[in-house]
Amino acid sequence: MHPEAVLSGVESSELPVGDRRRNAQLRDDGFPGMPEDLMSLAYWEEMQKHLPRKMQRELAPLTEQLKVYIEFDSRRQEIEEAAEVLESHRNKYEKLMRKPGKLFERVDSLLAEPPFENIRLSATDLQRAFEEVGYPIRNRTNSENFEIAAKVIRFLVDDEKRDALSRRLMLLLPEYVKAERFLDAWTIQHSAILILEPVEDGADPFLLTMFIHAMLEWEEQRNREEITLFEKLGIDPEEIRRRGYNKLEARLRELTEDPEKKAIIEEFCASHPEHAAYTQAQCRDMESAALRLLERDDAHVLFLPVEEFMPWFDVMEQRIKESPDILAAIAQKDMLDDAVQKSFGDLICSLSIEITAEVFTASRLDRLASQLHEYLNDLAEDDHEGKAGVHGALMSVHSQDPLEENCFLLMLCWRAFHAAMKAMTG
């Protein structure tokens, strides 16, 4: 698209005469010093001063957006002239575009400059978006977390905000052209155009880099909070970094056995709800990854041996005999209807809980943890899904939750039992 496209289709902001007459009447009704033309920055700045503070806060985003539109309209010719000057430098920018890495570096460098201070996304913006669309997850691939980035950008930058953001970028154009920073000016101009034409994944280079800047700020805030917590608990942050965050879960569980340490953790969670929500999101993802781990073909090495289940085959047979509906359906090889399926599911669930409670003693859990570590060591370096599953499984193994509420152990038990039944029946 030609640079002028970002300016096309913008209607003149001059007010009709009738509206001006009504504005004059409003001025007579008490608005002090109201200019004749509403398209004046001075008017909106003056008006804000005479509004109640609560209304000032509520209207601040709209007022700032109006100021952008007014300034853009007043500087239209200046912006168009800067765009014309850039045309003679198009070839250099086209060469830069053929090197995406260099283009991202230039955008990243630009965003760090003072003129972009009020344009960038903030850690607070990201937190608001994460609460709505979900949190990024540790131990996930870049592509998976990119999906979160795209959702955050779509949430924070809707069509109306894209339009205002595009204009704010174009307002910077004359300054960079005057400084003869032509590649930077082209980058700004092209970013303004791309923002108006959002790509399907919702993240062009400029907006994605804005997200990354804000994400680094957000992560730094969480890191500072964690360091403060570690210090209060007597944990060396460097030791945690060396051992990995998967070991932190087990360490924190140990600390909760100390009433004083437990109170510190509870106070931290209460005073940092955003951090607690982030941690809970990590835990939920790790639990899901642990359950997916059991679906892998190579996960059979974690299953309990058939001989451990031998006593339970008789128990299962007796339970089925005590359930006439299930027994009849099995005998007739009929498809189980919804009611019978529910009864059979309840039977299996109850049996899995009993098996889990008996089989997974403290020593058996220690052995399972060792198996998981061996399994982890055998995984490929780029097997992020497998590693996330193992970390989730280890979290479940070390959990202090009752065994009947431990989804990973229950599912491991049932899958192992099911595999044993298949082996016994051929």
Same domain, 395 and 373: yes
Same domain, 67 and 149: no
Lowest mean pLDDT among 24-28, 217-221, 240-244, 266-270: 24-28
Q: How confident is the model at residue 9 (pLDDT cuts 50, 70, 90)?
A: very low
**Tally of CB atoms within 10 A around 43:** 20
Chain-centroid distance, C-alpha 135: 3
pLDDT (0 to 100) of residue 70: 82
pLDDT (0 to 100) of residue 129: 94
Same domain, 47 and 170: no
287 contacts: CB under 8 Å, gap ≥ 6: 392, 395, 396, 407, 408
| 136 pLDDT higher than 70 | yes
Same domain, 222 and 362: no
Same domain, 108 and 206: yes
Same domain, 139 and 220: yes
Q: How many Cα neighbours within 13 Å face the side chain of 268?
A: 22
| 184 pLDDT higher than 90 | yes
Same domain, 385 and 360: yes
| 47 pLDDT higher than 50 | yes
Q: In this structure, is residue 251 part of a structural domain?
A: no
pLDDT in tens, 232-276: 888 877 766 666 555 565 666 677 778 888 888 889 989 999 888
Taking Cα atoms as reference points, which of 79, 75, 18, 70 lies closest to residue 47?
70
Same domain, 57 and 117: no
Mean of all residue pLDDT scores within the chain: 78
The per-residue DSSP string of 21-47 comes to HHHHHHHHTT-TT--S-S--HHHHHHH
What average pLDDT does range 152-164 have in this prediction?
A: 88
Integer Cα distance of 359 and 364 in angstroms: 7
Integer Cα distance of 343 and 138 in angstroms: 39
Q: In this structure, is residue 284 part of a structural domain?
A: no
The three-class DSSP label of residue 345 is helix
Query: Domain total for the chain?
Result: 3
Q: Which residues of 313-323 are buried (b: 16+ CB within 10 A; e: fewer)?
A: eeebeebeeeb
Q: Which domain holds residue 54?
A: 1-74
Lowest mean pLDDT among 121-130, 238-247, 313-322: 238-247
Same domain, 63 and 95: no
pLDDT (0 to 100) of residue 160: 80
Structure tokens at 375: 């399994």
pLDDT (0 to 100) of residue 44: 63
Same domain, 385 and 319: yes
Write down the residue that tokens 């924070």 correspond to.
156
Q: In this structure, is residue 248 part of a structural domain?
A: no
Same domain, 310 and 392: yes
The one-letter amino acid code at 233 reads L
pLDDT in tens, 383-416: 888 888 898 898 888 887 788 788 899 888 888 7
Q: In this structure, is residue 243 part of a structural domain?
A: no
